[in-house]
Amino acid sequence: MYKVVIVDDEDVIREGLKTFVDWNRVGYFVAGEAEDGAMAFELVQDLQPDLVITDIKMPICTGIELMDKLRNYNRDIRIIVLSGYNEFQYATAAIEAGAVGYLLKPIKFDKLHDLLASVKEELDADAFARTRSEYVGKLLRYDFILQLLQRHPANRQEAEKRAAELDMPLAGRCCDVWLAQFDDYNDLTHRYTKDEMESFKLELRETAAEAIRPIGDVYDFPCDDSSLGLLIAGDCRSKDDWRAAASRLLNDANNRFPFRVTLGIGGIFRTIEEVHESYLIARSLIAKKFFLGKNLIIMKGNTSEVPDTADAVSPVPTTLHMERLIVHMQSLEKDKVREYVDEAFASVSSRNEALNVYYLFMQLVQNFMDRFALSNSRLAHLKSPDYQSHKETLAELKDEINQFLCLVVDAMAEGGAASTNSMIGEVKKFIEAQYAHEISLESAARHIHVHPVYLSKIFKKDSGVNFIDYLTEVRVAKAKQFLADTRLKVYKVSEMVGYNDPRHFSKIFKSAVGVTPYEYRRGVLGFLDDPAGSQGQKL
């Protein structure tokens, strides 16, 4: 829609034009009106209209005088002249002054509509040409900045000349590269369309221009989807002025947008060929957002505690450490779980290393849930972990892991005694079925997919005896049953209850019953064992 200012000393004419012309249909809207040329010129300076419709004969400042002023002020403003005088000299003067049309009063609105349509075609053509020129100029500037970032051209004079041709006065000025990165970018892409995100970038560039204006000019350049590159060219003032500009940009962005921004500041360099160095520094600093946090200004001097290594091998937790974590989870010890997570990430020096540790945790959680889903309905209904984390900082990554691990712990806690009883019952069934074979706390723990330490803890709490004592009780009880059968030799009974060494069996039996198996058979059951059954010894 194009803006129109109506100028006429007669109220009825101005009202008629506003009322009887379908401005919206012809592509305009009336932005203002004035009753004389002097008032109109002030209004034009304020409103910046595309079209002025003015009467010729007015007090204080005539239409011809107004057109002369408008030509000197802005030759792109179109002018249509209205006149009640059917005299050739007025039309001639209007055309000479640059009017695009001349209409006599009383106005015939069909002719005015035709003239407005013709003017709109001219305005459309100018707007297209201007947009195309701006777009081409922008692309050329983008290409030139990207060449600077790659150290091309290396010759300062050539670079400064090319910059001047592109209306980028860089000669004799200090340069700095800033990278403005949207925080929580992945969340933003789910909330806003691609066009909206591009609009945000444009607004961010305008915000940067306003914040940086006191020290110089800003030229944006394409970066990755989540970032806007800014080449700052300004006077070589104190660093405090540049820091203040960065603070203004961050504060203005926080107040203007529904998101936050982090700035990576490359540093001030005095020659155009050093733009490349500033860019490399800015890029390395913005990557440290992962350790430092979001919505910050990151520059040299405030990153001393952040690791510089980008390609080190991650010290991932060992199997022993993972077993310790499992024990903490099964014991419902959330504080211990959080402490372990902190330990696991303590030595990471890059985002990639941290993600490796993150994936290891997620695999552990998934395996843990799969193992216990049958015995714990809460775990069975818990949503599986997401292996594609989009967290942007180390703190957020750790929080995500802690939250999920604690969800698993809560699910286990809600399962409560029923879940524990189910596991203990399964272990006792396992013992009943396997007592004749080699069996241990470790093999029983593997059977129900828990850690041996955790099984030992809950078994003692639930049964009142430890695992080995319970296993011994079962074996001794079975031995008593088998000893009642005189056809079975004592050494055979020993094998049948899981003891390959009859002497060891005799010691275990006597410790539990108070007599040896032979004495039990003779004294308690009332008959003698076949001497061959004990291999010639009293057992």
Q: What is the pLDDT of residues 4-35, one digit of tens each?
A: 999 998 898 899 998 888 899 899 999 999 98
pLDDT of residue 532: 41
* Residue matched to tokens 């592509």: 27
Q: How confident is the model over 423-443, as pLDDT tens digits?
A: 788 888 899 899 999 888 888
Q: How confident is the model over 512-535, as pLDDT tens digits?
A: 999 999 888 887 777 654 444 444
Residue with the larger pLDDT of the pair 87 and 60 = 60
Give the distance, in angstroms, between the CA of residue 395 and the centroid of all CA atoms in the same chain. Answer: 13
Q: How confident is the model over 126-140, as pLDDT tens digits?
A: 888 887 877 787 888
Q: Distance between CA atoms of 424 and 147, rounded to whole angstroms?
A: 70
Tell me the mean pLDDT in the region 320-344: 78
Tell me the mean pLDDT in the region 148-170: 83
Q: Distance between CA atoms of 37 and 73, rounded to whole angstroms?
A: 14
8 Å CB contact between 217 and 233:
yes
Phi–psi pair at 530, nearest 5 degrees: -60, 125
Q: Distance between CA atoms of 223 and 221, rounded to whole angstroms?
A: 6
pLDDT of residue 219: 93
pLDDT of residue 218: 93
Residues linked to residue 217 through DSSP beta bridges, in sequence order? 233
Asked whether residue 387 carries a pLDDT value surpassing 70, the answer given is no
**Which residue spans within 14-72 are E strands per DSSP?**
28-34, 51-55
Taking all residues of the chain, what is their mean pLDDT, rounded to a whole number? Answer: 83
The DSSP bridge pattern shows strands 261-265 and 174-182 to be: antiparallel
Residue with the larger pLDDT of the pair 312 and 265 = 265
State the maximum Cα–Cα separation within the chain, in Å, rounded to a whole number. Answer: 150
Q: Apex CA 315: angle with CA 311 and CA 319, to 5°?
A: 145
pLDDT of residue 534: 43
Q: Distance between CA atoms of 454 and 412, rounded to whole angstroms?
A: 13
The arrangement of strands across the sheet holding 297-298 comes to: 216-222, 227-234, 174-182, 261-265, 297-298
Q: What is the DSSP letter of 87?
A: -
Asked whether residue 415 carries a pLDDT value surpassing 70, the answer given is no
Tell the burial category of 429 from Cβ atoms under 10 Å away from its Cβ (0-12, 13-18, 19+).
Answer: exposed
pLDDT of residue 538: 42
* Residue matched to tokens 């029923």: 418
Q: Which residues of 309-323 are buried (b: 16+ CB within 10 A; e: fewer)?
A: eeeeebebbeeeebe
Q: Distance between CA atoms of 345 and 125, rounded to whole angstroms?
A: 60
Q: What is the DSSP letter of 524?
A: I
Q: Distance between CA atoms of 374 and 22, rounded to whole angstroms?
A: 74
pLDDT of residue 443: 87
pLDDT of residue 203: 94
Tell me the mean pLDDT in the region 247-255: 94
Q: Structure pTM? A: 0.56
**3-class SS letters over 351-416:** HHHHHHHHHHHHHHHHHHHHHHCCCCHHHHCCCCCCCCCCCCCHHHHHHHHHHHHHHHHHHHHHHH
**Which residue spans within 21-124 are E strands per DSSP?**
28-34, 51-55, 78-83, 101-104
Among 221, 239, 238, 213, residue whose Cα is nearest residue 180: 221
Tell me the mean pLDDT in the region 335-357: 84
pLDDT of residue 417: 44
Q: Apex CA 236: angle with CA 211 and CA 232, to 5°?
A: 40
CA Rg value for the chain: 43
